[in-house]
Amino acid sequence: MEIDNTFGLIDIAISGMRAQEKNIKLISSNVTNAQSTDNGNGQPYRRLEAVFKTDGDGVGGVSLDEIAVDMSDFLKILKPGHPDADERGYVTMPNVKLPVEMMNLNVAALMYQANIAILKRYQVMVETTLELLK
Amino acid sequence: MSKISNIIDLLEAGIKAEGLRQKAIANNVANLETPGYRRIDVKFEELLAKALNSSGSVDLSKIEAQIYQPKQTPVKSNGNDTNLETEVGEMVKNSLRHKTYIRLLYKKYKKMELAMNVK
């Protein structure tokens, strides 16, 4: 016997909210580490990006598939005297670009809100149906 | 077909289970950051479905809603597996179910009233 399939839509909206929350966490990590020249292994911080996948086949929620590491080139800035500077005075900086992160943050926050909008609207829909029982 | 003659008992059991589940959700939200805490949920619908599928009559007073740990959500680094989004979703579902049961109960009483008002 299949129990409780009526509220599958709520689970989908919630999975979207959770996925975007993790996405925002990664963006926050990128922004915070935009100046971290050492990630513990002598390399600058590499920006992270969330990759999402659909749960199940067809209709389903979303989940974080993997946390991809951005392998694009590091930036070099002239900063003689910095402990991580090379012999010519250049410091390798993380490949984080703040405008890109801010744009991604906007998208992620909007996605989060969109999922909440669906959740709210569905709630109203069910309540309207329940009005029939009055 | 129908094993349960009294629909009011059924609704009452459902409402009781929803009340307990609301408590469980409140407990989960209160312990969102408690290290080692695993979220709890209420098992009732499964037990009811099992009872309805089995042969013989169903005694609703014997079907007791149980609190259990689903242990299905991913565990965070502090050993806690709760998150606010899931709890909000569960709360929405719970309140919608609760509303449905209350409305059905209301309708049932309305019917009785109608029957009593015949002049």
What is the rounded distance in angstroms from the CA atom of residue A17 to the CA atom of residue A123? 16
* Domain membership flag for residue A35: yes
Q: Are B74 and B81 in contact (CB under 8 A)?
A: yes
* Segment A53-68 mean pLDDT: 87
C-alpha B108, offset from chain centre = 20
Nearest Cβ partner of A18 from B85, B103, B104? B85
A31 touches chain B (CB under 8 A): no
* Domain membership flag for residue A24: yes
* Domain membership flag for residue B1: no
ipTM of the complex: 0.75
For residue A133, the distance in angstroms to the closest alpha carbon of chain B comes to 6
User: What is the pTM assigned to this prediction?
Assistant: 0.82
What is the rounded distance in angstroms from the CA atom of residue B32 to the CA atom of residue B67? 18
Q: Report pLDDT digits (tens) over B13-23.
A: 889 999 999 99
Q: What is the pLDDT of residue A84?
A: 87
Q: What is the pLDDT of residue A7?
A: 81
Q: Is the pLDDT of residue B3 over 70?
A: no
* Domain membership flag for residue A68: yes
Q: What is the pLDDT of residue A8?
A: 85
Chain B residues near any Cβ of chain A (below 8 Å):
45-46, 49, 52-53, 83, 85-86, 88-89, 92-93, 96, 99-100, 103-104, 106-107
- For B84, nearest residue in chain A (alpha carbons): A18
Q: What is the pLDDT of residue B95?
A: 93
Q: Is the pLDDT of residue B4 over 60?
A: no
Work out how many domains chain B is built from and give that number.
1
Q: Report pLDDT digits (tens) over A3-33.
A: 456 788 898 999 999 999 999 999 999 999 9
Q: Report pLDDT digits (tens) over B36-73.
A: 999 999 999 888 888 888 877 777 777 888 899 988 88
* Domain membership flag for residue B89: yes
Cβ distance of B99 and A4 shorter than 8 Å: no
CB-based contacts of A97-100 (< 8 A; 24+ apart in sequence)? A98/A31, A98/A34
* Segment A124-129 mean pLDDT: 92
Q: What is the pLDDT of residue A90?
A: 93
* Domain membership flag for residue A101: yes
Contacts for A103 with CB less than 8 Å, ≥ 6 apart: none
For residue B86, the distance in angstroms to the closest alpha carbon of chain A comes to 6
* Domain membership flag for residue A3: no
What is the rounded distance in angstroms from the CA atom of residue A94 to the CA atom of residue A39? 10
* Domain membership flag for residue A14: yes
* Segment A32-45 mean pLDDT: 90
Confidence of residue A2 (pLDDT cuts 50, 70, 90): very low
Mean pLDDT of chain B: 87
Q: What is the pLDDT of residue A106?
A: 97
Confidence of residue B119 (pLDDT cuts 50, 70, 90): low
Nearest Cβ partner of A130 from B52, B88, B100? B100
Nearest Cβ partner of A10 from B49, B53, B89? B89
What is the rounded distance in angstroms from the CA atom of residue A21 to the CA atom of residue A82? 35
A86 touches chain B (CB under 8 A): no
Cβ distance of A11 and B89 shorter than 8 Å: yes
Q: What H or E segment, with its residue span, contains residue B100?
A: helix B84-116
* Full domain range(s) for residue B40: 7-116
Work out how many domains chain A is built from and give that number.
1
Instruction: Give the count of Cβ contacts less than 8 A between chain A and B.
Output: 43
From A19, A22, A21, A44, select the one nearest A96 (Cα to Cα). A44
Supply the DSSP symbol for B76.
-
Q: Report pLDDT digits (tens) over A75-109.
A: 899 999 888 888 999 999 999 999 999 999 999 99
Mean pLDDT of chain A: 90
Cβ distance of B85 and A119 shorter than 8 Å: no
Nearest Cβ partner of A14 from B49, B89, B100? B89
* Full domain range(s) for residue A97: 8-131
Nearest Cβ partner of A1 from B49, B89, B92? B49
